[in-house]
Amino acid sequence: MFKFDKLVFGDAGWGDEFLIATFMTLLVSILSMGLGLFLAIITVWAKIIQNRITRFIANFYTTVIRGVPELLVIYLIFFGGNAVVMSIAKVFGYNKYIELNALTIATIAIAVISATYSSEVLRASYLAISKGQIEAARALGMNKFSIFFKVISPQVIRHALPGIGNVWQITLKDTSLISVTGLVEIMRQSRISSNVEHSPLTFLITAAILYLCLTTISGRVFKTLEVNYSKGFST
């Protein structure tokens, strides 16, 4: 039932393929988490400056993406992304066919989803900073950049780490949906292998175990980071 011999490394088994697939999953998760955090910072910025239009756009973006299934967002970006990129290129006078590679599309799709979750976390932790600190920094004559990097960021990171850890877990699990675009990560690899070997149970359980390892280990990493960042604060 469970064929261990199919999981050895080398040509006889699928061990090395799964190892590469695991790195691909990690790569997509890290890239999209990074891009997602960047998008989230922009979204938070759009929400907290006193501007009705940017706030409306940011709220619309987070509401729609969080109200629509992840799979649908991925399909939309996977099938619609090329058309959008081509129409943008047309504006600049480039009329040839452009095809984004699977990794780019996967990263963008997952980042767009994960940014909505991170932005909520970041916004909450920004609001947790007391206004007096920013005023005090301004009174000391700090400019906007040093206020952001020396006063706001360190505290936001400390407040947001548990929430960002949760978002990371969601992002890691969402990368399994990327398998529908054909990018060979753990999920796709397990489908390919089980189609070749006619033994879905073996490879799906392997995939489950790999995901479990990834989530557990990264959970530990975030715990350590939390302890590190909350030094001097009794939690």
Partner 1 sequence: MIEYLNSIQNSLIYKNFFLVLSGLDNTILLLLISLPLGFVLALLFALGRVSKITLLSRTIASYIFVIRGTPLLVQIYLIYFGLGSVKFIRESFLWYALKEPFWCGVIALTINTVAYGAEIFRGGIQSIEKSQVESGLSLGFGKFLLLRKIILPIAIRKVLPSYGNELILMVKATSLVSLTTYMEMTGIARKIMAKTFAPVEAFIAAGILYLFLNFLMVQFVKYLEWKYNPHLRLNN
Q: Interface residues with partner 1 (CB under 8 A)?
A: 1, 64, 67-72, 75-76, 79-80, 82-83, 173-174, 176-177, 179-180, 187, 190-191, 194, 198-201, 204-205, 207-208, 211-212, 215-216
Q: Which two tokens stand for residue 41?
A: 């910072």
Dist. CA 67–CA 117, nearest whole Å? 12
Alpha helices for the chain (secondary structure H): 15-48, 52-67, 70-91, 102-127, 131-139, 144-146, 153-174, 186-197, 200-229
* CB of residue 208 to partner 1, shortest distance in Å: 5
DSSP, residue by residue, 177-231: GGGGGT--SHHHHHHHHHHHHT-HHHHHHHHHHHHHHHHHHHHHHHHHHHHHHTT
Name which of 41 and 168 has its Cβ closer to partner 1: 168
Name which of 157 and 197 has its Cβ closer to partner 1: 197
* CB of residue 89 to partner 1, shortest distance in Å: 16
Name which of 51 and 216 has its Cβ closer to partner 1: 216
* CB of residue 9 to partner 1, shortest distance in Å: 22
Q: Which two tokens stand for residue 12?
A: 């006889």
Name which of 77 and 156 has its Cβ closer to partner 1: 77
Name which of 125 and 206 has its Cβ closer to partner 1: 206
DSSP-derived 3-state class of residue 104: helix
Give the angle 120-121-125 at the CA atoms, nearest 5°: 115
Position 98, amino acid: I
* CB of residue 8 to partner 1, shortest distance in Å: 21
* CB of residue 66 to partner 1, shortest distance in Å: 8
